[in-house]
Amino acid sequence: MTAPAPDSPPVDRPTLNLDLDAAEANLSKVSAADIVAWSFETFGDRALLTTSFGVQAAVMLHLVTQVRTHVPVVFIDTGFHFQETYRFADELTKRLKLNLHVYSPPVSPSWFVARHGPMWESNNPDDLNRYDELRKVEPMQRALAEHDPLAVFAGLRKQQTNHRANLRHVEFQDGRYKVSPILRWTTKDVHQYLKAHDLPYHPLHDQGYASVGDWHSTRPITAGEDERAGRFNGLKQECGLHLPTSAAEDASRVSADL
């Protein structure tokens, strides 16, 4: 999709002004599938789904596309994913007939390393956040600008991080709504859904990976470790895509110990 010319008039994006607390009171009592259905009733075709093709990605991809087959699915290709992730993406795209849109950073992986070095090896969270900003957040912001959705589905779960534990099923972040249908689900719930619908985990799941990101900063976890401990050596929990970007809301980074 071609972006509007710089001198084009601004797009008139309607706002719904949802009462988030009232929405939460209702959505906290219904199923994930009902939340997805409510979302399409509320936002119509102005909703899209993001995916990392991570360990449990098949859950959200299946759950949402069962309700709206051709919903846009956005994947950020950092250029540093595992080969298994790319093959998993191809498998799920074909099986679920995904309407997949892939966005990449403007700088290739090799050129990025030539400019910045292996930023992921830093023990400074600021360097890790900067890496995420350049390789993940920038292309995601570009994708959102082009599709201009009112709402974005995300497979966030309270069990995953400190920040996510405090989320509601629908939040308003950076000018649009974020809907998390499986927010209340446990790891057991995820497993039962995958089994019930004969859906696969990411191939690296069987090698001890509980969460899969870029190859250089993801490792298997050991018994007793948090499922996000295998990312960036446990120095940060969030990749930046699910944190507010406005200065006024930046305190969430502190509360999440990032």
Residues forming the active site? 239
**What is the token pair recorded at 251?**
């305190």
Cβ(83)–Cβ(115) under 8 Å? no
Q: What are phi and psi of 204, to 5 degrees?
A: -80, -5
**What is the token pair recorded at 145?**
């600008």
Of 52, 47, 22, nearest in space to 36 by CA: 47
Q: How far apart are CA 237 and CA 256, in angstroms?
A: 8
Q: How far is CA 256 from the centre of its chain?
A: 17
Exposed/middle/buried for residue 115 (C-beta within 10 Å: 0-12, 13-18, 19+): exposed
Of 237, 241, 69, nearest in space to 152 by CA: 241
Q: Which amino acid is at 87?
A: R
**What is the token pair recorded at 98?**
């995904």
Cβ(78)–Cβ(105) under 8 Å? yes
